[in-house]
């Protein structure tokens, strides 16, 4: 992705975030986003499938830049804390999205899939771990539970500060999964 494409996506994200200061996510229209970002609908659809894709893009590039580094370059606590802070920095748009968090396109469903897939990739590619039935269950449990907790936290106004929230979440990671991924890899493909 070029810096221009990234800058345009960021401008669209910021326009949507600004519009959500006085409306719900369900009332947010692509037409309004395009007007606020000063782009055409054609340009919007060149970069995003729909308004949900805006938040999914930010989740991957903003929140994910930390969350997806668990076991790679960051330990559980640091990755979780940095991810929470990124969400809190964009509280308006995430709270609006969490309020309407239902269905396949919701940020919760997207986040669940992204976290689950990333944990599997990290374990297999970075740690050289074979995914057993037990480990698969732990990954699925963690992804589901974490995204439910994040959704409820967002719906309640993000009332738990970042540091204790990160600690609480890390205390709930299944022990086997935590042990495998808490220590960052030194290089890609390192077997832990």
CA distances from 88 to 94, 153, 154, 159 (A): 8, 11, 9, 10
Query: So what's the pLDDT on residue 189?
Result: 43
The neighbouring-strand residues paired with 74 are 70
Give residue 155's pLDDT band: very low, low, confident or very high (50, 70, 90).
Answer: confident
User: What is the value of pTM for the model shown?
Assistant: 0.86
Pairwise CA distance, residues 7 & 179, whole Å: 38
Q: How far apart are CA 20 and CA 18, in angstroms?
A: 5
Hey, what are 61's tokens? 């590039």
In this predicted model, what pLDDT tens digit does every residue of 27-75 receive, in sequence order?
999 999 999 999 999 999 999 999 989 999 998 999 988 989 999 999 9
Predicted local confidence at residue 192, as pLDDT: 36
Specify the fold of 52-181.
Tetracycline Repressor; domain 2 (1.10.357)
pLDDT of residue 137: 97
* Inter-residue contact 184 to 75 (CB < 8 Å): yes
Average pLDDT over residues 168-172: 95
CA-CA distances (angstroms) from residue 100 to 96, 137, 191? 7, 27, 41
Instruction: Please give the mean pLDDT across all residues of the chain.
Output: 89
Rounded CA-CA distance 131/7 in Å is 38
Range of weakest confidence among 57-61, 81-85, 105-109: 105-109
Q: Span 97-118, mean pLDDT?
A: 78
pLDDT exceeding 70 applies to what percent of the chain? 93
pLDDT at 1 exceeding the cut of 60: no
Average pLDDT over residues 169-185: 94
* Mean per-residue pLDDT, 128-132: 96
pLDDT average, residue stretch 158-187: 92
């Amino acid at each position: 992705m070029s810096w221009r494409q990234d800058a345009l996506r960021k401008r669209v994200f910021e326009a949507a975030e600004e519009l959500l200061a006085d409306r719900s996510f369900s009332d947010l229209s692509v037409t309004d986003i395009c007007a606020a970002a000063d782009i055409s609908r054609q340009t919007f659809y060149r970069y995003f499938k729909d308004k949900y894709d805006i938040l999914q893009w930010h989740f991957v590039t903003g929140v994910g830049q930390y969350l997806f580094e668990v076991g790679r370059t960051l330990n559980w606590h640091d990755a979780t804390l940095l991810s929470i802070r990124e969400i809190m920095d964009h509280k308006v748009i995430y709270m609006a999205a969490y309020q309407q968090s239902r269905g396949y396109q919701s940020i919760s469903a997207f986040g669940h899939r992204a976290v689950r897939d990333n944990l599997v990739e990290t374990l297999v590619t970075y740690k050289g771990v074979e995914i057993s039935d037990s480990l698969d269950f732990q990954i699925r449990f963690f992804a589901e539970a974490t995204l439910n907790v994040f959704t409820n936290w967002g719906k309640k106004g993000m009332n738990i500060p970042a540091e204790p929230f990160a600690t609480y979440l890390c205390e709930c990671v299944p022990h086997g999964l935590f042990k495998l991924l808490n220590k960052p890899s030194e290089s890609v493909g390192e077997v832990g």
